[in-house]
Amino acid sequence: MSQYVVMDLEWNQTPAFHSPGLAELPFEIIEIGAVRLDEHLKIVSEFQGLIRPSVYRKMNRKITEVTHLTMEELRAKGRSFPEVMDDFFTWCGDDYMFCTWGSMDLTELQRNMVYYGMELPFPVPFLYYDLQKIYGMITGSPVMESLDKAAAEMAIAAERPFHRAADDAWYTAKVMQKMNFLSRKAYVSTDYYRLPGEDEEPFFLKFPDYEKLVSHPYAVKEDILADRELTRICCTKCHRALRKKVRWFTTNQRYYYCLAVCPEHGYVCGKIRVKKTDDGRFFAVKTTRLTDESGVELVIGKKEDQRRKRAARNRRLRMEEAKAPQKTGLRPASGSAIGRNRRRKMLEP
């Protein structure tokens, strides 16, 4: 890829929180802004387009507060979404990689395109750079920073206002220039709007220090953990299938962890993040990475958390049972007691 298109969107949504919006289009794009950079991250061109809304006829008050965009201005200066998109893609050219601050913009862009019956010209998997994530990797920030804050931390002069698509794309490009992005060029993200089909291979991405796999959607969450192919752990260096030292467990039903060991390369940590699709199904994002003692401690700590939570729940159930003995069937879950020795044994390579 020789160029980068840093893109930012503004969108409108149903004005009141209690009135549901259109299920297939919760966010209607009202502005697109973008900055194109060459391979050396020099800004070569800017794009801005206002869109005349056709779904939500009133502005959400919060959005007007933040962007200062009004329905009158959008009606007067905006053009239809497909028209603006045609111009945008012509401006993009044909050899570029999208960059966004956060992971939402490309998903919403595709949702809007599908709503207007436009064909999606993007490859599957759709790779891009999530600059917010890369910024976090570089600065070691444990939270996803807002663009305003990142721009301030990078000492970028506030030459423009914030929260309009073209300006935010420009600030994002400035942060990209300053944060030594090229040192993390390997860390592409993949958009989750279009997932692999059930009969297709999962998306597979290899990074310098870990591997990522994105599964097809499953009807129920339990099917993910029941998929032997998906839950298998292979060493990221020699690719042999590994025996698990700590089997898959969860602390919150969203993140699952496991620990395996390669006789040659040491500990390997697996993590599955369960995500929901628009149609209420579930898919998995699995990462596998070699880890050291501190990584092992982290997984063991989570496992003990889970055990403590389970023990507390069992105690509560037993107490409830004692208080109301006529209510039977409240049996505590078993298997909660794994002693210290067992834990030590689990970890012997």
Chain residues that interact with Zn ion, rule: CB under 5 A? 235, 237-238, 262, 264-265
Nearest to Zn ion by Cβ — which residue? 235
In angstroms, give the least distance from the CB of 214 to Zn ion.
23
End-to-end CA distance of the chain: 43
- Our CB check for Zn ion shows the closer of 198 and 264 to be 264
- Our CB check for Zn ion shows the closer of 224 and 235 to be 235
Beta bridge partners of 126: none
User: 236 and 270 in contact (C-beta within 8 Å)?
Assistant: no
CA gap 272, 279 in Å, rounded: 20
For the record, the structure tokens of 250 come out as: 């969860």
In angstroms, give the least distance from the CB of 240 to Zn ion.
6
In angstroms, give the least distance from the CB of 89 to Zn ion.
44
- Look at residues 164, 143, 194 and name the one whose alpha carbon lies nearest to residue 8: 164
In angstroms, give the least distance from the CB of 213 to Zn ion.
17
- Our CB check for Zn ion shows the closer of 289 and 307 to be 289
For the record, the structure tokens of 217 come out as: 């959607």
Asked whether the CA dihedral 342, 343, 346, 349 is positive or negative, the reply is negative
- Our CB check for Zn ion shows the closer of 16 and 241 to be 241
- Residue with tokens 């998906």, as numbered in its chain: 230
For the record, the structure tokens of 150 come out as: 């990142």
- Our CB check for Zn ion shows the closer of 57 and 237 to be 237
Task: Look up residue 2 and give its DSSP letter.
Answer: -
In angstroms, give the least distance from the CB of 231 to Zn ion.
18
Helix axes 340-347, 293-323, angle to 10 degrees: 150
- Our CB check for Zn ion shows the closer of 225 and 347 to be 347
